[in-house]
């Protein structure tokens, strides 16, 4: 499907969708447990992939309107009857690949074309260091993967600058091993707040971890057991970033986002980025409400070393702000569902933005940019689609964003919310 977004203003109040990152981890943690209730989960294409994986390992997931009832496999995953298809969810594949290393047999994991192009090699090597079997069928470090165990635990050395999800996967599975797992980082950890999210969820499920000088440790023989048998998912700041961008660019009478409570999410940095750019924005942390209004913004330098998912949002804001916005430390953003650095450079340039793309830097000259509506490729990437739709609100004329069905990955009702807030949106089948 495609959507046409015409220049328009927005306003009102909108509830933040639940966090995709927390939902993934909570579903798998409940799978590692005897069972648990996961309240206020994000039910999306990606998190459904994690639900299917838990079921493949012997658990079950029952969906209700506002919660999931998970019957776990209690730390002893079955060998799946069939291949685990992770679809487009890189988080699912990495987290449940480590789960496969706990099984007494072989598990095959695969995904769609995009997922089969993403790097898994460091995680496979880590499982190999633990004396598990971990292979890429094409011997290129990419899915399909064949993984088996059971591993007992031990020490692994792994790079920290490819994906923090490797660390998450090893911590979550390591708590179930007999000996525990110590993770030594060979390079500086990128996207570190996502490991903080993992540690926060593990703590809520009664699992203890420890940060050490050059990595992390998790003791073995632990049990997943959340207090009261349930866990509640917080709002998602990656998704909130698009709502705040709408407000700062196109809400003259203001826009309020509810459900925005403080947590370990690194992407809450979007609040600081907008405030540094001069946005009229206030955050009542206790009430979980952020209010933002259309503002005169000025470009700044932003590192996305720890917040890769914010790059598309910041690029759009920078294209409208005065002066220059420089996004640095962004090489790892090229290894997402698509090369998001190149995708945003290409699409915003087509809309009239002045952009310089380097390997680890994206520079947007907002003062030299006048956005005009055109047709842009969503790259089958939810974050590209949503950010370009925000750009369409402030571009002259109409912007057609292609392939919008992929927002189901993280924010299934995005276009419904945009319409409800007053955006001029028309959706059609391609």
Catalytically annotated residues: 309
Query: What tokens appear for 419 in the block?
Result: 């319409």
Residue 264 and residue 49 in contact, taking contact as beta carbons nearer than 8 Å: no
263 among the known binding-site residues?
no
According to the annotation, is 191 in a ligand binding site? yes
Question: Would you say 63 is a known binding-site residue?
Answer: no
The response to whether 142 counts as a known ligand-binding position is: no
Tell whether residue 309 is among the known ligand binding residues: yes
20 marked as part of a ligand binding site: yes
Using alpha carbons, select from 249, 399, 400, 393 the residue that is nearest to residue 320. 249
**Is 52 assigned to a binding site?**
no
8 is in an annotated binding site: no
Q: Tell me, letter by letter, the H, E, C secondary structure of the chain.
A: CEEEEECCCCCEEEECCECHHHHHHHHHHHHHCCEEEEECCCCCHHHHHHHHHHHHCCCEEEECCCEEEEECCCCCCCCCCCCEECCCCHHHHHHHHHHHCCCCCEEEEECCCCHHHCCCHHHHHHHHHCCCEEEECCCCCCCCEEEECCCCCEEEEECCCCCCHHHHHHHHHHCCCCCCEEEEECCCCCCHHHHHHHHHHHHHCCCCEEEECCEEEECCCCCCCCHHHEEECCECHHHHHHHHHHHHHHCCCCEEEECCCCCCCHHHHHHHHHHHCCCEEEEECCCCEEEEECCCCECCEEECCCCHHHHHHHHHHHHHCECEEEEECCHHHHHCCCCHHHHHHHHHHHCCCEEEECCCEEEEEHHHCCCECCEEECCCCHHHHHHHHHHHHHCECEEEEECHHHHHHCCCCHHHHHHHCCCEEEEECC
Q: How many of the other CB atoms lie within 10 Å of CB of 232?
A: 16
- The pair phi, psi for residue 79, each rounded to 5°, is -80, 120
The answer to the question of whether 190 is labelled as a binding residue is no
C-alpha 224/C-alpha 219 separation (Å) is 13
Known binding residues for phosphoenolpyruvate? 20, 90, 118, 165, 340, 383
Known binding residues for 3-phosphoshikimate? 20-21, 25, 163-165, 191, 309, 336
């Amino acid at each position: 499907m495609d959507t046409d977004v015409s220049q328009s203003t927005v306003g009102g109040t909108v509830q933040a969708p639940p966090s995709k990152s927390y939902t993934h981890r909570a579903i798998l943690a409940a799978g590692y447990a005897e069972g648990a209730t996961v309240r206020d989960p994000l039910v999306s294409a990606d998190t459904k992939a994690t639900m299917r994986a838990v079921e493949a390992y012997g658990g079950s997931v029952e969906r209700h309107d506002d919660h999931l009832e998970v019957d776990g496999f209690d730390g002893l995953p079955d060998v799946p009857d069939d291949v685990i298809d992770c679809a487009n969810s890189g988080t699912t594949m990495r987290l449940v690949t480590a789960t496969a290393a706990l099984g007494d047999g072989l598990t095959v994991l695969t995904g769609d074309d995009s997922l089969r192009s993403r790097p898994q090699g460091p995680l496979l090597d880590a499982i190999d260091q633990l004396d598990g079997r971990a292979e890429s069928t094409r011997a290129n470090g990419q899915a399909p993967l064949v993984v088996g165990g059971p591993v007992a635990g031990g020490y692994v050395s792994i790079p920290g600058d490819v994906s923090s999800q490797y660390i998450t996967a090893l911590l979550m599975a390591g708590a179930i091993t007999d000996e525990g797992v110590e993770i030594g980082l060979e390079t500086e950890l990128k996207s570190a707040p996502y490991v903080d999210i993992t540690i926060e969820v593990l703590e809520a499920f009664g699992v203890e971890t420890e940060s050490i000088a050059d990595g992390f440790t998790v003791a073995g023989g632990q049990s997943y057991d959340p207090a009261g048998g349930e866990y509640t998912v917080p709002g998602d700041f990656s998704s909130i970033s698009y709502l705040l961008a709408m407000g700062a660019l196109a809400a003259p009478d203001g826009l309020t986002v509810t459900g925005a409570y403080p947590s370990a999410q690194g992407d809450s940095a979007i609040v600081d980025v907008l405030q540094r750019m001069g946005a009229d924005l206030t955050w009542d942390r206790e009430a979980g409400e952020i209010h933002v209004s259309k503002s005169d913004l000025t470009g700044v330098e932003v590192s996305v070393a720890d917040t890769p998912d914010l790059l598309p949002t910041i690029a759009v804001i920078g294209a409208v702000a005065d002066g220059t916005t420089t996004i640095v430390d962004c090489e790892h953003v090229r290894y997402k569902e698509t090369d998001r650095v190149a995708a945003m450079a290409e699409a915003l340039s087509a809309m009239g933005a002045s952009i310089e793309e380097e390997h680890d830097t994206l520079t947007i000259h907002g003062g030299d940019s006048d956005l005009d509506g055109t047709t842009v490729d969503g790259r089958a990437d939810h974050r590209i689609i949503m950010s370009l739709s925000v750009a369409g609100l402030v571009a002259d004329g109409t912007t057609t964003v292609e392939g919008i069905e992929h927002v189901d990955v993280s924010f299934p009702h995005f276009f419904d919310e945009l319409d409800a807030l007053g955006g001029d949106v028309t959706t059609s089948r391609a």
